[in-house]
Structure 1
Amino acid sequence: MSDFSTALGLSASGMKAQAMRLRHVSENIANADTPGYHRKMTTFEPLVSDGEQTGGVSVGPMQFDKSELSRIYEPGNPLADDTGYYDGSNVDLVVEIADAREAQRSYEANLKMFDQTRQMSSALLDLLRR
């Protein structure tokens, strides 16, 4: 049963990591029009137990995208400088949608692995009861 528990734990760690990634993507999309907003990026780190990698994954520290902010020309905006420009955000909606799809598919794959492991352990218990 230990192998089943390990497989369930690995799947769960992947689902937690992808859920956090989806959260950052949704925050980026929500703030795409916020002046001065820097895109949030999710980093992943391997889970380590007793000095060895377990195969699981955890979310590392959140990082901000360091690419330049877009410059928006709107002289009437209160945020505009003397030249009429102000800093927009560096969120690219196409990139965010692609990241969201990738995170969704990864989450679904981990969920499928979790469900398959649960079904196998249930079937094993049924066999052992006979």
Structure 2
Amino acid sequence: MSLMKIFDTAGSGMAAQSLRLNTVASNLANADSVSNSPDSAYRAKELLFAPTGTAEPGGMSQDSGEGTNGVRMVGVTESQQPVESHYEPGNPMADESGYVYGSNVNPVDELVNMISASRSYQNNVEVMNTTKQLMIKTIGLGS
């Protein structure tokens, strides 16, 4: 693997973790939202990633390069956990039975995802910095 591919790999990892952090932020922002039906209640989003160079669901390869050199997002899924229902007949969002339906976002799980994504992002930054330092030292050997 050339040193330049290391930057591509770490860069795609950073982009993936950035998307993951944005998804966590969206989930946390909607954690307390309510709806008048369980079907329209906010459901936690989860991103699906795959290594670059793997086949798309249709069978076509995304990259023509040799081997895997990064990660890409291939889709978004919604959590299948049940949504919470609360009896609040005075709420303007209540259905005809007086129930409102909250999101299925688990804030503890989202905070764990946020810490994991943040640390993964930091690790990719460290990979880029280490590679840069190695390149500088290699150039210095020739002088």
Alignment partner of 1:22 is 2:27: no
Q: Deviations over 1:10-29 (max 9, x none)?
A: 11111110010000000101
Give the conservation status (yes or no) of the 8 Å contact 2:8–2:69.
no
The residue number in structure 1 matching 2:43 is 38
Shift of 1:41: 0.6
Q: Give the counterpart letter for 2:32 in structure 1.
A: D
In the comparison of the two structures, how many residue pairs are matched?
A: 128
Q: Match of 1:60, SS?
A: strand
**1:34-73 matches, cutoff 5 A:** 34-35=33-34, 36-48=41-53, 49-50=63-64, 53-73=67-87
Segments of structure 2 that go 5 or more residues without pairing to the other structure are: 35-40, 54-62
Q: What is the aligned-residue identity percentage?
A: 36
**1:107-118 matches, cutoff 5 A:** 107-118=121-132
The residue number in structure 2 matching 1:77 is 91
**What value does the CA root-mean-square deviation take over the aligned residues?**
1.5
**1:2-21 matches, cutoff 5 A:** 3-21=2-20
Shift of 1:66: 2.3
How many Å separate the matches in 1 of 2:66 and 2:3? 19
How many Å separate the matches in 2 of 1:76 and 1:14? 47
How many Å separate the matches in 2 of 1:121 and 1:113? 12
1:88 to 91, 97, 102: 102
How many Å separate the matches in 2 of 1:87 and 1:52? 49
Give the conservation status (yes or no) of the 8 Å contact 2:21–2:118.
yes
Q: Deviations over 1:22-42 (max 9, x none)?
A: 000001011111121111111
Which protein has the bigger helix share?
1
Q: Match of 1:55, SS?
A: coil
Q: Give the counterpart letter for 2:92 in structure 1.
A: P
Shift of 1:51: 7.2
Give the conservation status (yes or no) of the 8 Å contact 1:75–1:83.
yes
How many Å separate the matches in 1 of 2:125 and 2:87? 46
